Amino acid sequence: MGEFELIRHYFAAAACARVGGDVVLGIGDDCALLTVPVGEQLVVSTDTLVAGVHFPEPSDPYLLGQRALAVSTSDLAGMGATPIGFTLALTIPSVDSGWLAEFARGLDAMAAGCAMSLIGGDTTRGPLSMTLTVFGRVPVGEALLRSGAQPGDLLCVGGALGDAAGALPIVLGERDADTVEAATLLGRYWTPQPQLALGQALRGKATAALDISDGLLADCTHIATASSVSLAIEQSRVPLSDSLLRFAGAEQALQCGLGGGDDYLLAFTLPADALSTMQSEGWPVHIIGHVEAGEGVRLVDADGNSLNIAHRGYNHFTS
């Protein structure tokens, strides 16, 4: 099977490849055509996932298809964007029809859940990797940035942290997966749910935001640097799931929550007067600290005393 036949058979025929809405022209020409409504801006992000770095090899192709699109789409959530579509550049060592069918099925399932259209891409032969570029739109001036946090703002996250990191020993075959807790953690690792609706709800309210991919401490450092402030994270307020606590124990669970990465939840700063509105509307807002003058990120105890930070998060070139 050649490159173009492969694309037509496994991807162009998928439900997520149908045109409509903001997608005027998808797969089949040199480029896709997108229409962005008047008064909105195009939001674009690219992620590469490499076998042995971002996921173990072999991996279930259906789960891998879901995860690949979810982690990329999460960047749109971090900007408060409405999804439009995505491209996929897929490198595979050989044509395996069963693997490709399952990968495409997982990709299609996540695309449906995120209201995303597959609008183009490329396939080539080589070590397994995939690069996804996602496109979204946001009203002019309403994109969530990392650079607006102000002293006095609350530091918040969109849910319990560390579950995906807690699943990593299971994914790598280092621990058994035959418990209810393990199944829950594996679900968070393989099928993260981008917080698109929360991101859109934060427009005009949050002063800064991003999605957590490399770990809470590491990613909050990006907000602190971009906003020229300091973020104080209260250790006792970091939300951890019961499944993670039971599976990993309190100490390891906290380490997963602080520096484990792969959460793909939102971290954001919020003025105190916006908190009641978000909570009354039912959004998952967990206060974990505050913004203060200074620089960097501090982990503090209940009395505000700084605590030692052993591991801040993942970095491709130092981890």
Percent with pLDDT over 90 in the chain:
76
With 60 as the cut, is the pLDDT of residue 313 above it?
A: no
pLDDT in tens, 64-98: 999 999 999 999 999 999 999 999 999 999 988 89
Q: What is the pLDDT of residue 304?
A: 84
Predicted confidence (pLDDT) per residue in 174-203, tens digit? 888 788 999 999 999 999 999 999 999 999
pLDDT at 3: 65
**Bigger pLDDT: 160 vs 28:** 160
Domains and CATH numbers, the chain: 3-139 (3.30.1330.10), 154-300 (3.90.650.10)
Residue 305 has a pLDDT of 87
Cβ neighbours of residue 59 closer than 8 Å, sequence gap 6 or more: 51
**Which residues does 23 contact at the CB level (< 8 Å), separation at least 6?**
32, 33, 34, 84, 85, 117, 119
pLDDT band at 13; cut points 50, 70, 90: confident
Rounded Cα gap, residues 251 and 203, in angstroms: 35
Measure the CA–CA gap between 305 and 55, rounded to whole angstroms: 37
What does pTM read for this prediction? 0.91
Q: How far apart are CA 20 and CA 97, in angstroms?
A: 28
Output the pLDDT for position 1. Answer: 60
Residues above pLDDT 70, as percent of the chain: 95
CA dist 290 and 270 (Å) reads 9
**What confidence tier does 316 reach under pLDDT thresholds 50, 70, 90?**
very low
> Is pLDDT above 70 for 157?
yes
